Chains A and B, each alone.
Chain A
Amino acid sequence: MIAYALYFAFACFGLALLFNLWHLARAPGVNDRVLALDTMVINAIALLILYGVAEGTAVYFEASMLFAMVGFVSTVAYCKFMLRGDIIE
């Protein structure tokens, strides 16, 4: 049963990644593209966890934790850059 759930989840997040890519390519400004990138990171975390579940190992869990911990830092940096120009004032 869990196998089917995993397939479904993989398909959903894979599709989400493709939508992100579409937005990244077609969005009007840089802001939207940064958002697309940030969402991509979220989806990537999800995929990592799903992959860990599928493989039955905890190794990837840590990788996804690290993704979650530092992934947002670059988004913050992009935002500060667009708003203020200097990210460390």
Chain B
Amino acid sequence: MSLVLIAALPFIGALFPGLMIRAGRNACAMMTGSFTLLALILLLIEAPAVLQGEVIRNQISWIPSLGLHANFFLDGLGLLFAGMILGIGLLVILYARFYLYKTDPMGQFYTYLMLFQGAMVGIVLSDNILLLLIFWELTSLSSFLLIGYWKHLPEGRQGARMALAVTGGGGLALIGGMLLLGGIVGSYDMTVILQSRDVIQASPWYLPALLLILLGCFTKSAQFPFHFWLPHAMAAPTPVSAYLHSATMVKAGLFLMARLWPVLAGTDAWFYIVGITGLITMVLGAVIALFKDDLKALLAFSTVSHLGLITMLLGFGTAEAAVVAVFHIINHATFKAALFMTAGIVDHEAHTRDIKRLGGLRHLMPITFTIATIAALSMAGIPLLNGFLSKEMMLEEAAHTDIWVGIFATLGALFSVAYSFRFIAHTFLGPKRDDYPGHPHDPGFGLWAAPAFLAVLVVIIGILPQTVVGALVAATSGAVIQAELPYYSLQLWHGVTPALFMSIIAVVGGVLVLMSFRRMEGVWNALPRPEAKTIFDWIVEGIAGASRRLTDALHDGAISRYLMIFAATAVITGVVSFMGGTHAAGTHQLLPAGPMAIIGLLLLTVASLGVVLFHRNRLLSLVIISVNGLVISLGFVYLSAPDLALTQLTVEVVTIILLLLALNFLPKETPRESTMGRKWRDGIVSVAAGIAVGGLAYALMARDLAFQSISQFHLDQSYPGGGGTNVVNVILVDFRGYDTFGEIIVLGIAALAIYALTQTLLHGRASRRLMEIGKGIKRDGDRHPLMLVVATRVMMPIAVMVGVYIFLRGHNEPGGGFVAGLVVSIALLMQYMASGFAWAQARQRADYHAIIASGVLIAAATGVGAWFADRPFLTSAFGYFQIPPMDKFELATAMAFDLGVFLAVVGSVMLALASLSRLARRAGETVNDTPMDIDPSKTTEEAR
């Protein structure tokens, strides 16, 4: 299980920085680092076996029906990447501890960093491509948080958004590609896929899958033309750049290309797409990097260029090139992380990263200068450093491939030399200046320790490649190639080869280019260049604008328009499908309609027409709607659904009170806005929709359903399975308890939303308008009439008792927690109406928020209780008990669940109504302390 643990440790570690920051920044960094270190140690324990060629697997079945398994495996490739992610991660944690400013929230930073680290480790260890996709998306999200860490900087926010849009968009393509790949092979397991090369390459879906997967990889690894997001991501703090752009995020795309190399590479399509994209990216990135004045932008484009180099090598499709790619991944990670860190140090100490304002720093920052020089020379490909070895081998491969590829590769290398030298020369060499924004000096050990360690690696790999990384390169290349390793040698001197000449040309040419930099810069600045950010913003703006126009066309805020579109669409779809099929009349016999049913129907029809006629007078239409509610309740009784009747009846009362409360703050008349044409249009659509729904209901009732009805199952199982004879209640609290659980949560959320919305009305402009509303109303009669107060007080205990009764018997007879909750709510509401909000609220001890919460928690606890009996969530149990003087009675866990429903309903209803009536206070109403307007005990005295 150690692989699962390695992947999980960073995520677990992400929980702690926020807490540990209270113990100080050192404690926070050490705690964070310890999780990474532990994961790294676990990885190193596995390393010897992997280097021997073993593959370590951990498998957990997660959702087998979807083919989703939490399978992890560790081979050479995984070992290399996981080692880089965790190793450089550890250095970055150390570096960030000393880099972040006092004002930066460090706990947040480490949390994001660990989330990202976990996601990256997950990608490289996944043995299931669906699992890999999940981690892939997680890296996009967590890198968004990291890049936008300095939230106060607009560049940071925009850069983060751009990175998310590009890599997230690519991630979507990748999902498509991976699903296609899984579909071709018939398995989502990486191990199986890796052995299905012939099947995949023979499939007609190979090309679409390849394109989609490459789209994902290219966007992630910033390949042309998606390279533009990477420089903008430089707005992040330097530790983030050092981590994301040297060893991790941008390498994820390379990793996936390397991982799928055995099955995807080797075709013409792969060669041309991957090879040429890599070549273009390499040359273009190197050229742009030369002309960047921002140190980090220079490094960003050099990263783009080196990623292109590796992509190109993978694109060649030969085993030798793949070995070089692997080797360069290692080398690039070491020198580039060191370079980013030194750039960060310069920024930290000199307070600028602008090369034009720097120079001569070698006197002031000798340590930084040494580290930066070693790393930059490695990047340039100077002998004795690791960058030289892989660059030489790359040139060799390029020369073998094609003469033009060789020329362009040399050109890329030439510019690479030029910008690397520029990095050294224009930052550190030259005369000392006296106009630095800060006071540059070497930082403390904490800040330069990490880059120094990497610089040491650069040198020893450069001198003793075979000894230091030979085994790792062999194991990794073996995992990439999945076949016999080709002959290669990691050594300093390869003899007089074409690559040697190309190298010499590159170095000499690079120096010449740098010497004529001033002139070339003039030419470069005069050239018209497309600005990626402008184009990106333009595209985003265009898409956003088009979406907005579409949304506005469908839903412009007027519900009548939205309903018209919705109803018309539904009717048209229905009519089209009705016309497309055959139709036979239903076989069921019609029931005779009694006189009472006809009267009810008449009431319903007239009331509905009345609402249409009087809808401008809002109060009147509410009165007429009540008739509908009444008739529908009666209809439920008539059609043998007493549960529904009780619910409908109580809901009706609560709804009317709610609407009346709201209507107090709304215009009493709906203004006339519709033109005649629109009225006709809406009238036709609504009549058509009504006829359609009526016809559909009739058609369904007149025939047997096409599939087996589940009603009989519920009727049969209600008592033996759920322990209750009231099927409706058993369905609610047992069979479909999970639905109900979700519903009470939604109910609670709705009530809280009403509370929050009305809370905002209590302040600002809305509040001033509320105060205006209160002034114009004519008020007659008593505020708190004696009759009403006395009647409701008497009603209260009776109503509560009825509520309890309905609740208790709900499992076997009509009733249950929902109805009981509404009845008790009405009983409480009556007190509010009779004696006023302030008086009633003062006597309300339990907070409604807490009542909702306790309801949901009780329901959840009941559900969880089933776990202790080794049953799934919300499995109910029931039994019969007897307490001597009483009859035998039944207790079911469903009753506790129903109690949760009850409390959630009471809390939600009361919170919604209390929120609305609270507004009246704002509208200038006074508060009363006494329950009614007159005090009966004092009347005679006052009369005197």
Chains A and B belong together in one complex: yes
Task: Report which A residues bind B (CB closer than 8 A).
Answer: 10-11, 14, 17-18, 21, 24-25, 30, 33-34, 37, 40-41, 44, 47-48, 51, 59-60, 62-63, 65-67, 69-71, 73-74, 76-78, 80-89
User: Which stretch, B670-678, B682-690, B742-750, B823-831, touches the partner chain A?
Assistant: B823-831
Q: Which B residues lie within 8 Å of A17 (CB)? A: 599, 603
Q: Which A residues lie within 8 Å of B652 (CB)? A: 74
Whole-angstrom distance between the Cβ of B791 and the nearest chain A Cβ: 9
A73/B798 contact (C-beta < 8 A), A10-B595, A21-B603, A25-B606 known? no
Q: Which B residues lie within 8 Å of A41 (CB)? A: 630
* Contact A21–B606 (Cβ < 8 Å): yes
| Smallest Cβ-Cβ distance to A33: which chain B residue | B623
Whole-angstrom distance between the Cβ of A58 and the nearest chain B Cβ: 10
Whole-angstrom distance between the Cβ of A51 and the nearest chain B Cβ: 7
B224, CB-defined interface residue at 8 Å: no
Q: Which A residues lie within 8 Å of B829 (CB)? A: 73
Q: Choose among A18, A63, A82 the residue that contacts B646 (Cβ–Cβ < 8 A).
A: A63
Q: Which B residues lie within 8 Å of A18 (CB)? A: 599, 602
| Smallest Cβ-Cβ distance to A41: which chain B residue | B630
Task: Report which B residues bind A (CB closer than 8 A).
Answer: 595-596, 599, 602-603, 606-607, 610, 617, 619-620, 623-624, 626-627, 630, 633-634, 637-638, 642, 645-646, 649-650, 652-653, 656-657, 660-661, 663-664, 777-781, 783-784, 788, 795, 798-799, 802, 813-814, 823, 826, 829-830, 832-833, 836-837, 913, 917, 920, 925, 928
CA distance A78 to B814 in the complex (A): 29
* Contact A74–B626 (Cβ < 8 Å): yes
Please give me the 9 A-B residue pairs with the lowest Cβ-Cβ distance, nearest first: A88-B917, A85-B777, A83-B781, A74-B656, A83-B780, A14-B599, A88-B832, A81-B660, A86-B920
Q: Would you call the interface of chain A mostly helix, strand, loop, or mixed?
A: helix
* Contact B626–A59 (Cβ < 8 Å): no
* Contact B627–A65 (Cβ < 8 Å): no
* Contact A67–B663 (Cβ < 8 Å): no
Q: Which A residues lie within 8 Å of B626 (CB)? A: 37, 74
Q: Which B residues lie within 8 Å of A40 (CB)? A: 627, 630
* Contact A34–B634 (Cβ < 8 Å): no
* Contact A51–B637 (Cβ < 8 Å): yes
Not counting A10-B596, A74-B656, A81-B663, a sample of 18 additional A-B residue pairs whose C-beta atoms are within 8 angstroms of each other reads A10-B595, A21-B603, A21-B627, A30-B620, A37-B627, A47-B596, A48-B637, A62-B814, A63-B645, A66-B650, A73-B826, A73-B830, A74-B652, A74-B657, A76-B833, A84-B781, A87-B660, A89-B920
CA distance A21 to B606 in the complex (A): 8
CA distance A33 to B606 in the complex (A): 14
* Contact B649–A66 (Cβ < 8 Å): yes
* Contact A69–B661 (Cβ < 8 Å): no
Q: Which A residues lie within 8 Å of B617 (CB)? A: 30
| Smallest Cβ-Cβ distance to A59: which chain B residue | B642
Q: List 22 A-B contacts (CB under 8 A).
A: A10-B596, A11-B595, A14-B595, A21-B606, A30-B617, A44-B634, A51-B638, A59-B814, A66-B650, A67-B633, A70-B650, A73-B833, A74-B652, A74-B653, A74-B657, A78-B623, A78-B656, A81-B660, A82-B619, A87-B660, A88-B920, A89-B837
Q: Which A residues lie within 8 Å of B795 (CB)? A: 69
* Contact B596–A87 (Cβ < 8 Å): no
Q: Choose among B653, B664, B826 the residue that contacts A86 (Cβ–Cβ < 8 A).
A: B664
Q: Which A residues lie within 8 Å of B656 (CB)? A: 74, 77-78
Q: Which B residues lie within 8 Å of A82 (CB)? A: 619
A88/B603 contact (C-beta < 8 A), A41-B630, A69-B795, A81-B664 known? no
* Contact B637–A86 (Cβ < 8 Å): no
* Contact B637–A60 (Cβ < 8 Å): yes
CA distance A11 to B610 in the complex (A): 25
Q: Which B residues lie within 8 Å of A88 (CB)? A: 661, 832-833, 836-837, 913, 917, 920
Q: Which A residues lie within 8 Å of B599 (CB)? A: 14, 17-18
Q: Which B residues lie within 8 Å of A11 (CB)? A: 595
CA distance A70 to B928 in the complex (A): 26
Whole-angstrom distance between the Cβ of A24 and the nearest chain B Cβ: 7
Whole-angstrom distance between the Cβ of A16 and the nearest chain B Cβ: 10
CA distance A18 to B813 in the complex (A): 33
| Smallest Cβ-Cβ distance to A81: which chain B residue | B660
* Contact A34–B826 (Cβ < 8 Å): no
| Smallest Cβ-Cβ distance to A7: which chain B residue | B595
* Contact A66–B619 (Cβ < 8 Å): no
Whole-angstrom distance between the Cβ of A49 and the nearest chain B Cβ: 11
CA distance A44 to B829 in the complex (A): 23
Q: Choose among B603, B638, B657 the residue that contacts A73 (Cβ–Cβ < 8 A).
A: B657
Whole-angstrom distance between the Cβ of B793 and the nearest chain A Cβ: 14
* Contact B650–A89 (Cβ < 8 Å): no
Whole-angstrom distance between the Cβ of A53 and the nearest chain B Cβ: 14
Q: Choose among A14, A59, A66 the residue that contacts B823 (Cβ–Cβ < 8 A).
A: A66
Q: Which A residues lie within 8 Å of B788 (CB)? A: 76
Whole-angstrom distance between the Cβ of B770 and the nearest chain A Cβ: 12
The residue in B595, B624, B656 that gathers the most chain A C-beta atoms within 10 A of its C-beta is B656
Q: Which B residues lie within 8 Å of A62 (CB)? A: 642, 814
* Contact A87–B833 (Cβ < 8 Å): yes
* Contact A70–B630 (Cβ < 8 Å): no
* Contact A77–B802 (Cβ < 8 Å): no
Q: Which A residues lie within 8 Å of B610 (CB)? A: 24-25
Q: Which A residues lie within 8 Å of B650 (CB)? A: 66, 70
* Contact B620–A89 (Cβ < 8 Å): no
Q: Choose among B619, B661, B664 the residue that contacts A30 (Cβ–Cβ < 8 A).
A: B619
| Smallest Cβ-Cβ distance to B805: which chain A residue | A62
CA distance A70 to B656 in the complex (A): 12
| Smallest Cβ-Cβ distance to B839: which chain A residue | A89
CA distance A33 to B619 in the complex (A): 11
Q: Which A residues lie within 8 Å of B634 (CB)? A: 44, 47-48
* Contact B823–A70 (Cβ < 8 Å): yes
Whole-angstrom distance between the Cβ of B629 and the nearest chain A Cβ: 9
Q: Which B residues lie within 8 Å of A83 (CB)? A: 779-781
The residue in A37, A40, A63 that gathers the most chain B C-beta atoms within 10 A of its C-beta is A63
Q: Which B residues lie within 8 Å of A48 (CB)? A: 634, 637
Whole-angstrom distance between the Cβ of A11 and the nearest chain B Cβ: 8
Whole-angstrom distance between the Cβ of B633 and the nearest chain A Cβ: 8
* Contact A84–B624 (Cβ < 8 Å): no
* Contact A14–B596 (Cβ < 8 Å): yes
CA distance A66 to B596 in the complex (A): 21
Whole-angstrom distance between the Cβ of A42 and the nearest chain B Cβ: 11
CA distance A67 to B633 in the complex (A): 10
A60/B649 contact (C-beta < 8 A), A40-B627, A48-B634, A81-B664 known? no
A67/B925 contact (C-beta < 8 A), A34-B623, A44-B634, A85-B779 known? no
Q: Which A residues lie within 8 Å of B814 (CB)? A: 59, 62-63
Whole-angstrom distance between the Cβ of A48 and the nearest chain B Cβ: 6
| Smallest Cβ-Cβ distance to B619: which chain A residue | A30
Q: Which B residues lie within 8 Å of A34 (CB)? A: 623
Q: Which A residues lie within 8 Å of B802 (CB)? A: 65-66, 69
Q: Which B residues lie within 8 Å of A71 (CB)? A: 649, 653
Whole-angstrom distance between the Cβ of A27 and the nearest chain B Cβ: 10
Q: Choose among B826, B833, B925 the residue that contacts A70 (Cβ–Cβ < 8 A).
A: B826
CA distance A8 to B719 in the complex (A): 40
Q: Which B residues lie within 8 Å of A77 (CB)? A: 656-657, 660, 833
CA distance A68 to B542 in the complex (A): 61
CA distance A76 to B813 in the complex (A): 30
| Smallest Cβ-Cβ distance to A10: which chain B residue | B596
Q: Which A residues lie within 8 Å of B826 (CB)? A: 70, 73
Q: Which A residues lie within 8 Å of B607 (CB)? A: 21, 24
* Contact A89–B783 (Cβ < 8 Å): yes
Whole-angstrom distance between the Cβ of B642 and the nearest chain A Cβ: 5
Whole-angstrom distance between the Cβ of B884 and the nearest chain A Cβ: 29
Q: Which A residues lie within 8 Å of B784 (CB)? A: 89
